[in-house]
Amino acid sequence: MSDSSTLFTVRLPLAAPLSRLEAERRLALATGAEECVRLLASFVRPHAEYLACFVVRDDAALGRFGVGQGPSSERVAGTKVRLERASHAGMATAIAQALGRPVGSRPLLVPVRVGGDLALYIYADRSLAPFERDELARLNAFAASVGAQLARLALQSGDAEEESDEDLHTPPLPSRYPREPVLPSVVVDTHGEYAKLVGRVCRGEDPEGTAETALVRAGKDALPALFEVFPGPLLPGLGAELLELPRASECGPVLRVLARQRRVALQQTLAELAGVDTSRRFWAAHLLAELPYLESVPDLVDALKSSDLPLRRAALRALAAVGTMNTAATVEALRPHLLAGVPGRQRRLVVEALAGMRAKPIVPILLELLRDDDARVVRTAHRGLVDATGRAFGDDLPAWETWWSTHRGRSRIEWLMEAVGSNESEARRRLVLTELVALSGIEWSTTGALDGVALAELQAKLKAWWKEQSSSIELRS
């Protein structure tokens, strides 16, 4: 049998992007390597005009199948590209040339590692726009999950065997996976050492914080031990059902360590968000509010579709935190989820996430949403505009547009300071002042008078503070 006879027969429909949550669920149920690789191809397919699978053997990448507007699986199966020492970008270009892809195509290579060894590549390309950073992070994160599942399957059944169905052939995996992993005598069982440190932290036997600091410094090497007990012990009385919770880092020691690890902990936290354990998913969403990276937006939007109310609340808080750190990019990432055809509840929750950001870049999109056909979307958009600007023009769209045309060039702090002296209600002005004094650190009694000398003095202090700080404070303007 020739090498080309081992190609996959893959039939992937053109469909909407498979959510990370659904992809992780299907992956957990996968029982064969063929199923895992087909799932990865389905996950990548909506992002590309064409994709191909290449299995790595020795010093070469061997083609297995192709999907989309490009070379057939038969053509791909006869393609061999030497690895040499090329980077992923170099390999992507080499594969594109070997497949005769158009010069204007923008190639991407998604590597899959099994047990630390490179097992296969998914090649993808498209002609219109380059792959964006958050797309790359999402695709590579799921590829890592696929590699982990392939490793588990290899450990369970030894070297992969071909499927009985003649049309479905398992991709060759590296042949160095024993049923029981054995550590050479010179290798230290670091996982055991980190597990001991996690145990000390969980039992409160780390008064000086040395174990916690060691886990933070260990970075990704400590993640398996930390996620074995995730979310770890929590402070008494804390639970998902509470409407208000402290920051995740204040809820328990394991959450605090992961929050301190920042980006190192992001991908594994996203994997927990896409899991099946309700409690772990909730605490992962709550933790993501302290890991406010743009890559988490697609997964948090997936969480908004859940029927679990506490999870949806946690996802909303996390999205607002992401938007607070990177508002303009988050707004653009959420915009497709507001289009016609998106389920009504999901649209309303996305608008609520936008409203929670209280930042300048949300104003134009919320103004657009004041014209929406869904009355609840309009109400949420209006509330977001009031919180962001300090002004309340109700459903008077011309008044909002007039205000925006004259204020779009000013900072949000200046909007709020102007709102204090406006004809808004006393309750609204008091809320605006509360936010301003929290930002500035100026002392003010929340029951203080909102007129007369006291108010004038407070306004003068705020103006002086802003004049001094405006050059260094970034408020997502």
Instruction: Report yes or no: 323 and 359 within 8 Å, Cβ to Cβ.
Output: yes
CB under 8 A, 24+ apart: contacts of 77-85: 77/3, 77/4, 77/5, 77/6, 77/7, 78/3, 78/4, 79/54, 81/54, 83/56, 83/59, 84/59
Which residues lie below 8 Å from residue 187, measured CB to CB, with a gap of 6+?
none
Instruction: Report yes or no: 63 and 82 within 8 Å, Cβ to Cβ.
Output: no
First to last CA, the chain: 64
Q: What would the pLDDT profile of 382-427 be if each residue is shown by its tens digit?
A: 988 988 888 888 878 899 999 999 988 888 888 888 888 777 777 8
DSSP H or E segment with residue 330:
helix 327-334
- In the prediction, which pLDDT does 31 show? 83
Q: pLDDT at residue 167 above 60?
A: no
Instruction: Report yes or no: 92 and 48 within 8 Å, Cβ to Cβ.
Output: no
Give me the percent of the chain exceeding a pLDDT of 70: 84
Strand segments, DSSP code E, in 305-400 are none
- In the prediction, which pLDDT does 52 show? 93
Q: pLDDT at residue 116 above 80?
A: no
Q: What would the pLDDT profile of 369-381 be if each residue is shown by its tens digit?
A: 888 888 888 898 8
What's the whole-number mean pLDDT along residues 121-134? 79
**Which position has the higher pLDDT, 476 or 459?**
459
**Residue 55: band (very low, low, confident or very high) from pLDDT cuts 50, 70, 90:** very high
Q: pLDDT at residue 90 above 90?
A: no
**Residue 123: band (very low, low, confident or very high) from pLDDT cuts 50, 70, 90:** very high
What are 136's two structure tokens? 């790359």
What b-and-e string marks burial along 262-281, b requiring 16 or more CB atoms within 10 Å of the CB? eebbbbbbbbbbbbeeeebb
Q: What would the pLDDT profile of 416-468 be if each residue is shown by its tens digit?
A: 888 887 777 778 888 888 888 777 777 776 666 667 777 788 888 888 878 77
- In the prediction, which pLDDT does 465 show? 79
- In the prediction, which pLDDT does 122 show? 94
DSSP H or E segment with residue 388:
helix 375-389
**Residue 186: band (very low, low, confident or very high) from pLDDT cuts 50, 70, 90:** very low
- In the prediction, which pLDDT does 128 show? 65
- In the prediction, which pLDDT does 159 show? 44
What are 351's two structure tokens? 């608008």
**Residue 185: band (very low, low, confident or very high) from pLDDT cuts 50, 70, 90:** very low
Using a 10 angstrom Cβ sphere, with 0-12 exposed, 13-18 middle and 19 or more buried, the burial of residue 165 is exposed
Q: How far apart are CA 43 and CA 328, in angstroms?
A: 26
**Which position has the higher pLDDT, 53 or 172?**
53
Would you call 184 helix, strand, or coil by DSSP? coil
Nearest to 57 by CA among 171, 224, 210: 171
Q: How much is the mean pLDDT over the chain?
A: 79
Instruction: Report yes or no: 370 and 382 within 8 Å, Cβ to Cβ.
Output: yes
Q: What would the pLDDT profile of 65-80 be if each residue is shown by its tens digit?
A: 888 778 888 889 889 9
- In the prediction, which pLDDT does 40 show? 92
Q: What would the pLDDT profile of 144-156 be if each residue is shown by its tens digit?
A: 889 888 888 887 7
| Structural domains of the chain, with CATH | 3-157 (3.30.450.40), 410-477 (no CATH)
Q: How far apart are CA 184 and CA 284, in angstroms?
A: 35
Least confident of 98-102, 175-179, 438-442: 175-179
**Residue 10: band (very low, low, confident or very high) from pLDDT cuts 50, 70, 90:** very low
